[in-house]
Amino acid sequence: MPEKVTTDKVLIYVVRDGKLLVFRHTDYSYEEVGIQVPAGSIRPGESPQDAALREAREETGLTDFKVVRNLGEFTYDMSPYRWELQRRHVFELELCEPAPERWTSQEDHDGQGEPTLLECFWIPVEAAHILQSGQGALLGRLFFR
């Protein structure tokens, strides 16, 4: 069995009017990749907070976010999909600009390879148990200050 690598990631919860901002990959089925919140890798020298803001912008195509608070961190084992332990830093962000109920976006991967096509939309927070790969693990913390 391969040795597991530990990576630092961010997960982003953006809630508006009781709904959570999520996306799906338009080139893959729900069965393959599920519904996700904005998330991604922390770059070398980048703070988790800055990574959360960058990933939210990159994946949604929206630009005006602010950090509300750090909700904590946890470790998630991605195996057998990937032999990786993800140390996930979870942030609540506020979207400070209008956004439709549903829109398309793309993640460009810093110009490396083909862009990933995304469809962003809002779901009731109460339905967020459907998030893939344990992404909803700290959603309950949104309701406690």
pTM, two decimal places = 0.93
pLDDT of residue 100: 97
How far is residue 137's CA from residue 141's CA, in Å, rounded to a whole number? 9
CA distances from 138 to 67, 106, 118, 123, 141 (A): 16, 26, 23, 16, 6
pLDDT of residue 145: 72
pLDDT of residue 33: 85
pLDDT of residue 112: 84
Report the number of distinct structural domains present in the chain.
Answer: 1
| Domain assignment of residue 143, yes or no | no
| Domain assignment of residue 145, yes or no | no
pLDDT of residue 135: 96
Range of the domain at 38: 5-137
pLDDT of residue 138: 97
Domain of residue 45, CATH code: 3.90.79.10
10-residue stretch averages of pLDDT, the chain, 145 residues long: 90 97 92 92 97 97 98 94 93 98 91 90 95 95 87
pLDDT of residue 50: 98
Q: Which residues, 6+ apart, have CB-to-CB distance to 133 below 8 Å? A: 34, 36, 76, 78, 81
Looking from the CA of 91 toward its CB, the CA atoms found within 13 Å total 26
pLDDT of residue 95: 98
| Domain assignment of residue 55, yes or no | yes
| Domain assignment of residue 43, yes or no | yes
pLDDT of residue 77: 94
